[in-house]
């Protein structure tokens, strides 16, 4: 089973906000003493935090779904709901957070760095907070909002000063083990190193980290072998060390050819990098050191003598080393230390992020009305943060809450925009995106006004109080007159048939 994962897809959901409470305070001799329903608690956030003890994303490979705790419900007697606890997820130093489309959201470097991956939903207001001079005892409360839901991609890019690159079995793991306290797996077969290894090297006043990148082969930049998965770990380094096997047992390979192959793969990978490397020296322009390893062996020493002059033409340091006999390791450690210090000194001074102030325009409506074709007819979709949030907060089983929503939408100007878009009574109106939208038949006569309220929890505007037209009244009158004439005709027919006698007739006639 793998013990190291450097790329995962993580689904995070913030905690839902608690619902507000609709409650009426009751006191002795005063059964209706006013609203006392409190607000619901806010849901917890999902937070990513760089942790020194975390070195892999394996935990989120096994548990890709993370959800924060929801807020508590509000209660009567002004008892507010508890706030949901934040869910803090530890990630390794150097984790890059992107969305599903590859847009970088956070580059998390430095212990303690935090990023809010998903925000918790706001708690709903209780009826005590909704009361005003016209609506003194609301019979409803607002619902809590659902937490933010996002799908993120976490990608670990090692934070190291020096990267050791080379073919499999070139001796990179042995080299980092000899120079530092790191103890990577070492064996005599290719692809022994399956995960990047980090080691700390101290050489005099120099102190820096070295990363042992898994072996690269031709085609690594296109995904062949393990190269594509681990090339990302050299992006942050200051110095690149090419570890060449001077005693390779393969007759078709030599240090010069190996170097040309690895540089070609690095160049191909560097060309695919985007603006994420902005502010750093381009990958192919960073300081380079060539290390001829395994020169303690006779074949290795002979090969080093043959290619040393050709490699020296590149005008970069070329060192003969042996991880086994520790030949040349001291010189290599000091050479790398000096290059790292120079690279650090050349880095631009960190600048504080500018404060961006983006005030909204004074005529900003905050919503838009879009005309759509819906089931063979015309529908009007309302999009905007406020209308969509208000819909999520509305309890549609409570008529008074629905009336309150209508008042808020009318005050925002939604009805005016619907009129301007061509909506009429009975038009289909949708609020929200996609299939999650709330659909209803628009009734433009629902003007705002708390004075039209009925009993608590009801709204007279939602009752059927349509005033009949003059034509309707005439038709109803004609129906009543016709029914009365029919009754009189039936009574006259019964009298003539002798079924009943006239009480005014005494029979003396």
Neighbours of 362 (CB within 10 A): 5
Joined together, the tokens standing for residue 43 give 């849901």
Find out whether 325 is annotated in a ligand binding site: no
Find out whether 221 is annotated in a ligand binding site: no
Find out whether 427 is annotated in a ligand binding site: no
Joined together, the tokens standing for residue 382 give 């309302």
Find out whether 369 is annotated in a ligand binding site: no
Judge whether 72 and 60 are in contact, CB under 8 Å: no
**Which residue(s) pair with 49 in the sheet?**
90, 114
Distance CA 217, CA 227 (A): 7
Q: Is the sign of the CA dihedral 321, 325, 330, 333 positive or negative?
A: positive
Find out whether 365 is annotated in a ligand binding site: no
CA proximity to 123, closest of 94, 82, 151, 153: 82
> Could you tell me whether strands 162-165 and 206-212 are parallel, antiparallel, or unpaired per DSSP bridges?
parallel
CA proximity to 174, closest of 149, 156, 192, 151: 192
Find out whether 396 is annotated in a ligand binding site: no
Find out whether 195 is annotated in a ligand binding site: yes
* Residues found in the chain: 509
Judge whether 182 and 197 are in contact, CB under 8 Å: yes
Find out whether 212 is annotated in a ligand binding site: yes
Find out whether 360 is annotated in a ligand binding site: no
Find out whether 91 is annotated in a ligand binding site: no
> Could you tell me whether strands 239-245 and 162-165 are parallel, antiparallel, or unpaired per DSSP bridges?
parallel
Distance CA 219, CA 269 (A): 10
Find out whether 194 is annotated in a ligand binding site: yes
Distance CA 35, CA 141 (A): 11
Alpha-helical runs (H) found in 357-468: 385-392, 399-412, 414-421
Find out whether 122 is annotated in a ligand binding site: no
Find out whether 438 is annotated in a ligand binding site: no
Could you please report the per-residue DSSP string of 358-376?
-PPPTT--S-EEEEEEETT
Find out whether 168 is annotated in a ligand binding site: yes
Distance CA 93, CA 107 (A): 9
Find out whether 172 is annotated in a ligand binding site: yes
Find out whether 16 is annotated in a ligand binding site: no
Most distant CA pair in the chain, distance: 157
Find out whether 133 is annotated in a ligand binding site: no
Neighbours of 354 (CB within 10 A): 6
Find out whether 213 is annotated in a ligand binding site: yes
Find out whether 287 is annotated in a ligand binding site: no
**What does the CA dihedral 93, 99, 104, 108 come to, rounded to 10 degrees?**
-20
Find out whether 462 is annotated in a ligand binding site: no
Find out whether 503 is annotated in a ligand binding site: no
**Which residue(s) pair with 108 in the sheet?**
95
Find out whether 219 is annotated in a ligand binding site: no
Find out whether 322 is annotated in a ligand binding site: yes
Give the HSE-up count for residue 263: Cα atoms under 13 Å, Cβ half-sphere. Answer: 16
Distance CA 79, CA 74 (A): 6
Find out whether 399 is annotated in a ligand binding site: no
Distance CA 497, CA 493 (A): 6
Residue 386 main-chain phi, psi, to 5 deg: -65, -55
- Sheet of 114-118, strand order: 87-91, 46-50, 114-118
For the annotated binding site, the residues are 166-173, 191-195, 212-215, 293-296, 322-324
Binding-site positions for Mg(2+) read 173, 193
List binding-site positions for GTP.
166-173, 191-195, 212-215, 293-296, 322-324
């Amino acid at each position: 089973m793998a013990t190291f994962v450097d790329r995962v897809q993580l689904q995070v959901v913030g905690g839902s906000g608690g619902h507000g409470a609709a409650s009426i305070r009751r006191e002795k001799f005063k059964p209706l003493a006013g609203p006392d329903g409190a607000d619901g608690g806010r849901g917890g956030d999902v937070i990513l935090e760089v942790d020194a003890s975390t070195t892999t994303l394996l935990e989120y490979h096994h548990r890709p779904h993370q959800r924060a705790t929801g807020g508590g419900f509000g209660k009567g007697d002004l008892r507010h709901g508890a706030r949901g606890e934040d869910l803090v997820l530890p990630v390794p130093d150097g984790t890059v957070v992107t969305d599903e489309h590859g847009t970088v959201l956070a580059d998390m470097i430095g212990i303690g760095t935090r990023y809010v991956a998903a925000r918790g939903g706001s708690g709903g207001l209780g009826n005590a907070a909704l009361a005003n001079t016209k609506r003194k005892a609301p019979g409803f409360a607002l619902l809590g909002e659902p937490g933010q839901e996002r799908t993120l991609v976490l990608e670990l890019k090692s934070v190291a000063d020096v990267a050791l690159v080379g073919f499999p079995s070139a001796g990179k793991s042995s080299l980092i083990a000899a120079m530092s306290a790191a103890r990577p797996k070492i064996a005599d077969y290719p692809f022994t190193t399956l995960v990047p290894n980090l080691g700390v090297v101290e050489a005099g006043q120099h102190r820096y980290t070295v990363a042992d990148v898994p072996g690269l082969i031709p085609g690594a930049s296109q995904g062949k072998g393990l190269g594509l998965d681990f090339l990302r770990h050299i992006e942050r380094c200051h110095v690149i060390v090419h570890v060449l096997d001077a005693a390779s047992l393969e007759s078709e390979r030599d240090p010069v050819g190996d170097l040309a192959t690895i540089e070609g793969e690095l160049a191909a990978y560097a060309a695919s990098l985007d603006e994420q490397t902005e502010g750093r020296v381009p990958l192919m322009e960073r300081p380079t050191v060539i290390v001829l390893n395994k020169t303690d062996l006779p074949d290795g020493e002979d090969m080093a003598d043959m290619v040393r002059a050709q490699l020296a033409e590149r005008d970069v340091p070329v060192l003969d080393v042996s991880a086994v006999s520790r030949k040349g390791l001291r010189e290599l450690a000091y050479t790398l230390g000096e290059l790292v210090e120079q690279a650090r000194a050349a880095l631009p001074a960190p600048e504080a992020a500018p404060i961006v102030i983006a005030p909204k325009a004074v005529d900003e409506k905050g919503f838009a009305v879009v005309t759509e074709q819906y089931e063979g007819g015309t529908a009007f979709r309302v999009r905007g943060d406020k209308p969509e949030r208000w819909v999520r907060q509305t309890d549609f089983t409570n008529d008074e809450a629905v009336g309150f929503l209508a008042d808020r939408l009318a005050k925002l100007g939604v009805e005016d925009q619907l009129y301007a878009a061509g909506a009429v009574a009975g038009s289909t109106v949708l609020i929200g995106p996609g299939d999650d939208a709330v659909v209803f038949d628009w009734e433009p006569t629902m003007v705002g006004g708390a004075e039209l309220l009925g009993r608590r929890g009801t709204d007279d505007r939602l009752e059927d109080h349509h005033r009949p037209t003059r034509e309707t009244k005439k038709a109803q009158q004609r129906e009543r007159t016709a029914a009365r004439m029919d009754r009189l005709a039936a009574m006259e027919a019964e009298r003539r048939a002798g079924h009943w006698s006239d009480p005014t007739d005494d029979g003396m006639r």
